[in-house]
Structure 1
Amino acid sequence: MSTTRPYSPGDHGPESGEVPVVAGARVRRLSLSGASGIVPLARDFTREALHAWGWLPAATADRRAAAEDVLLVVSELVTNACLHAEEPDEIILYFGDAPANKVLRIEVADRGAGQPAPRTPHRAGRPGGHGMFIVQRLCLDWGVVRTPGVTGKVVWAEVGAPA
């Protein structure tokens, strides 16, 4: 799990100002600016994408767990943007379903200047502050992309597709 690399493996890096995505990936995008009920809205949007991409309805416990992990990660990333960056601007989902890249990528864009990080040391009994720890535990990888000269950031996380 990386919190220092601003892009995922295989990407060309931040010099282009964009985070490249595998060719042929399915993409869904939802603007969250000015919306109310942002976290449930983002979860419903993600649930619809999971249905369209065959993750739901889940035929096995492993598939159901993978879908629930995705929904939890979306909740945590969007909640973090609400709490620490005023509100998220947008959520984008990418799903590369080619055999070599069965990964779902979640991106949440916001205008915040902060740097998300798991609280260390993590104390399970302490209320609050578990969001990025949960993201770190459930995801293959995650990170932050900033574009020079542009306010805000994109926090991304990648979840492996169920077998």
Structure 2
Amino acid sequence: MSTTRPYPPGDRGPESGDGGASGASVGGLAPGDGAPPVVAAVPSADRQARRLNFDGASGVVPLARDFARQALYAWGWLPASGADQRAAAEDVLLVVSELVTNACLHAEGPDELRISCDNKVLRIEVSDRGNGQPAPRTPHRAGRPGGHGMFIVQRLCLDWGVVRTPGVAGKTVWAELGGPA
């Protein structure tokens, strides 16, 4: 697990430009309907991606989970056909919850959630304006309340890390999970 490497080996990092954003709404909510703007990226041959902008949104953790759940349905992870697929989908929803919650607690709230998927790996990215550096609390004490978020992310994910853009406030915390067997 990595908190220092901005991208896992072989990964070129976030897609350049707007990632092929189509401007289409997802989940029946269009920007300007009182809902936060949601943009679905046009899927490539190998990778599908979705974005959720949290500007002006309240209840961002359940909003993020619902958004991730819709993506998992669209990408065939749900409804789960077996225990492995169900566990993989539940892990994704838990990691989304933990990363968005951490942005709420430690970084003035999240700005954007990005989820992308290919046949083998699902990547979650949560951007915020905070300057802090997320890290699992060490030593981890399971019976102690609070402080379990990044420990959970570390245990469930193939890898995770933080990306900062020089000269720009904030960061993007990313995590990658393996696809269901």
Look up the match of 1:96.
118
Q: Say whether residues 1:125 and 2:120 are aligned partners.
A: no
Look up the match of 1:19.
14
Q: Say whether residues 1:40 and 2:62 are aligned partners.
A: yes
Q: Summarize deviations over 1:33-71 as a string: whole Å, max 9, x none.
A: 220110000000000000000000001011000000000
TM-score scaled by length of structure 2: 0.82
Q: Say whether residues 1:154 and 2:172 are aligned partners.
A: yes
Give the superposition deviation at 1:93.
Answer: 0.4
Identity across aligned pairs (percent)?
Answer: 77
Aligned-partner residue type, residue 75 of structure 2: W
Q: Number of aligned pairs?
A: 154
Task: For structure 2, list consecutive stretches of 5 or more residues without a partner in the other structure.
Answer: 17-43
> Equivalents in 2 of 1:5, 1:118: separation in Å?
16
Which 4+ residue blocks in structure 1 deviate beyond 2 angstroms? 18-24
- Which of 131, 145, 148 is matched with 2:163 structurally? 145
Look up the match of 1:74.
96
Higher RCO, 1 or 2 (CA under 8 Å, sep at least 6)? Answer: 1
> Equivalents in 2 of 1:25, 1:19: separation in Å?
12
On the 8 A contact 1:33/1:87 being kept in 2, the answer is no
Give the superposition deviation at 1:19.
Answer: 2.7
- Which of 123, 130, 135 is matched with 1:105 structurally? 123
> Equivalents in 2 of 1:94, 1:66: separation in Å?
15
> Equivalents in 1 of 2:88, 2:150: separation in Å?
18
Q: CA 1:143 to 1:23, structure 2 compared with 1: closer, same or farther past 3 Å?
A: farther
TM-score scaled by length of structure 1: 0.91
CA RMSD of aligned residues (A): 1.5
